[in-house]
Amino acid sequence: MLLRIDPASSQPLYDQIADDVRRQASAGTLRAGDRLPPAREVAEALDVNLHTVLKAYQLLRDEGLVEMRRGRGAVVSAHAAALAALRDDALALAARARELGVGVEAVAALVRAAAEES
């Protein structure tokens, strides 16, 4: 499993890692039952601290995307299917936003606002 981060980004590293996992879950690259690589392994591969990776994993656990246990690791839950179900709509919205010249930040903010509104 390949994870990428951009150390120069203003987005926190743990958010970038969590985003990457969400992305792969929505794309179907990661499915229920799949195991995330051990945090220590990811930390070394990305040249990042263990805690940074664990914080990302814990975010994903808090939102139900993965289940974690000592000794066993982090396993993708059935919740991944829900993300996959949203993929097409998210892509459509993003494409429409691009046509209209609306930037990433703005459209993400729009969805955040819509989520709180509904």
Q: Exposed, middle or buried by CB within 10 Å (0-12, 13-18, 19+), for 14? A: buried
6 binds its own copies (CB under 8 A): no
58 binds DNA (CB under 7 A): yes
39 in Cβ contact with 64 (< 8 Å): no
Rounded CA separation 72/75 (Å): 8
Taking 3-state DSSP, the helix, strand and coil percentages for the chain, each rounded to the nearest 5, stand at: 60, 10, 30
83 binds DNA (CB under 7 A): no
Q: Which stretch binds its own copies (CB under 8 A): 34-42, 47-55, 69-77, 83-91?
A: 83-91
Q: Give the one residue of 2, 71, 72, 116 binding its own copies; rule: CB under 8 A.
A: 116
Of 11 and 110, CB closest to DNA: 11
Q: Which stretch binds its own copies (CB under 8 A): 34-42, 46-54, 69-77, 94-102?
A: 94-102
The site string for DNA over 8-37 (x = CB under 7 A, - otherwise) reads --x-xxx---------------------x-
Token match 């591969």: residue? 45
